[in-house]
């Protein structure tokens, strides 16, 4: 086992980004199938920003600390862990606590660092690729040849969805806040990028698809988008919700669900059982990591901050000026 204490980001009672401070705590000890990872880099995700602000409490049993994904090297293993040995380079979905020098993860939620990728890029994989895989491909069942719309296309989640959907043969539409973000989405593989501030995306997509609409929509906005999404879906369409940035309450006309035989679904990753996350990791290992090793479908890194500047990283995310991933460098 390494040293007995470790540095982490403490967010106290929560609040504005300034509530985050470097602090010291006991070294976490791996139990069962957990491994202890010496963290090289950690990704910053909107759910962590919401948790810090007090709007997204961790599920029962999860770490109360911030940080849902890391890369690094295995420093110790629990008594039942078999898949990794000390010194292996991994990236991992964590139950929280990734903004730290050391962090625990279930060994089944770790992935090898894809050949050719550095630890910074690897740390940007878990949260976005697990989320997109399970929602877009497992739940919504996106297939080659289908039309796919992703809202918030320039987000970490959005760019992941665009790249994977395109790679697996879908025609990809996206909505974004400005022209620079639209350009980034086109470069990532979207065929159509609409700026929602100056285009009515609903009528634009309906016109361009001859009134048929799209087969699958990945949405993180909610609010007024819910009715538009239901209207925009084609017969047998699927709407999958991963967040409600504009609220989960709206007066919904549910008629299209019946008349077009739609599926309205969604999920949150963090409270899923360990077995579910392990199954997603297996799918990524088989279907996505080989693409990454060919240089395809890679995360786009927008900015990197030292761990001590986690507050600046959160401020940037809250500004929504970023395109792709914001990262924390933990180990120099
Ligand atoms: N369900 C799950 O398991 C799961 C897991 C991870 C993340 N998520 C969710 O997925 C979303 C994307 O996560 P991320 O980490 O990739 O976040 P992110 O990079 O910060 O992306 C959010 C983007 O959404 C767009 N947006 C549209 N409406 C918005 C609004 N009302 N408020 C703020 N942003 C708005 C913004 O770009 P524009 O300029 O285009 O508006 C913003 O850049 C988040 O809502 C997050 O909570 C869900």
Predicted confidence at residue 1, as pLDDT, reads 61
The position carrying tokens 């048929």 is: 212
Helices (H), 124-242: 126-132, 156-167, 179-188, 201-208, 225-232
Residue located nearest, by CA, to atom 22 of ligand 1: 155
Interatomic CA distance for residues 311 and 66, integer angstroms: 12
Q: What is the dihedral of CA 155, 158, 159, 163, to 10 degrees?
A: 180
8-41 pLDDT per residue, tens: 999 999 999 999 999 999 999 999 999 999 999 9
Q: Which of 111, 151, 310 is nearest to 240 (CA)?
A: 151
As a whole-number percent, the residues of the chain with pLDDT over 90 amount to 97
Predicted confidence at residue 270, as pLDDT, reads 95
Q: Residues lining ligand 1, CB < 6 A?
A: 45-47, 127, 131, 152, 154-157, 176-177, 181, 220-221, 242-243, 245-246, 267-269, 317, 320
143-164 pLDDT per residue, tens: 999 999 999 999 999 999 999 9
Interatomic CA distance for residues 49 and 26, integer angstroms: 24
pLDDT level of residue 2 (50, 70, 90 thresholds)? low
191-219 pLDDT per residue, tens: 999 999 999 999 999 999 999 999 999 99
Q: Which of 30, 329, 77, 192 is nearest to 183 (CA)?
A: 192
Mean pLDDT value of segment 294-320: 98
For residue 307, what are the contacts with CB-CB under 8 A and spacing of at least 6? 7, 9, 22, 42, 99, 100, 328, 329, 330
CA of 155 relative to ligand 1 center, distance in Å = 6
* Structure token pair of residue 303: 């900015």
The position carrying tokens 């791996």 is: 30
Residue 180 has pLDDT above 80, yes or no: yes
Query: With a threshold of 0.85, does the pTM exceed it?
Result: yes
* Structure token pair of residue 77: 């293993």
Q: Which of 214, 184, 188 is nearest to 202 (CA)?
A: 214
CA of 161 relative to ligand 1 center, distance in Å = 12
Phi-psi region of 132 (alpha: psi -120 to 50; beta: other; left: phi over 0): alpha
Exposed e or buried b for every residue in 98-108, given b needs 16+ CB within 10 A?
bbbbbbbbbbb
Measured from the Cα of 56, ligand 1's closest atom is 47
């Amino acid at each position: 086992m390494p040293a007995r204490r470790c540095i982490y980001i403490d967010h106290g009672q929560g609040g504005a980004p300034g509530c985050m401070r470097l602090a010291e705590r006991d070294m976490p000890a791996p139990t069962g199938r957990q491994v202890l990872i010496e963290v090289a880099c950690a990704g910053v995700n909107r759910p962590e920003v919401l948790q810090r602000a007090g709007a997204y409490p961790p599920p029962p049993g999860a770490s109360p600390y911030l940080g849902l994904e890391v890369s690094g090297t295995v420093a110790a293993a629990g008594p039942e862990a078999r898949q990794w040995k000390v010194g292996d380079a991994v990236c991992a979905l964590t139950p929280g606590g990734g903004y730290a020098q050391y962090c625990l993860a279930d060994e089944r939620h770790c992935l090898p660092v894809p050949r050719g990728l550095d630890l910074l890029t690897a740390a940007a994989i878990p949260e976005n690729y697990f989320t997109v895989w399970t929602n877009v491909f497992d739940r919504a069942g996106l297939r080659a040849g289908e039309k796919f719309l992703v809202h918030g296309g320039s987000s970490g989640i959005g760019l992941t969805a665009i790249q994977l959907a395109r790679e697996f043969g879908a025609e990809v539409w996206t909505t974004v806040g400005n022209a620079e973000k639209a350009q980034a989405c086109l470069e990532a593989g979207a065929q159509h990028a609409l700026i929602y501030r100056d285009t009515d995306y609903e009528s634009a997509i309906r016109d361009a698809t001859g009134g048929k609409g799209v087969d699958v929509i990945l949405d993180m906005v909610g609010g007024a988008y819910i009715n538009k999404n239901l209207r925009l879906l084609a017969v047998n369409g699927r709407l999958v919700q991963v967040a409600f940035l504009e609220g989960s309450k709206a007066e919904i006309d549910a008629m299209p669900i019946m008349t077009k035989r739609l599926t309205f679904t969604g999920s949150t990753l963090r409270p899923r059982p360990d077995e579910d996350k392990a199954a997603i990791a297996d799918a990524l290992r088989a279907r996505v990591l080989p693409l990454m090793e060919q240089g395809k479908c890679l995360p786009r890194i927008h900015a990197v901050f030292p761990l001590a500047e986690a507050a600046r990283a959160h401020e940037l995310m809250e500004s929504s000026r970023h395109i792709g991933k914001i990262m924390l460098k933990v180990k120099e």
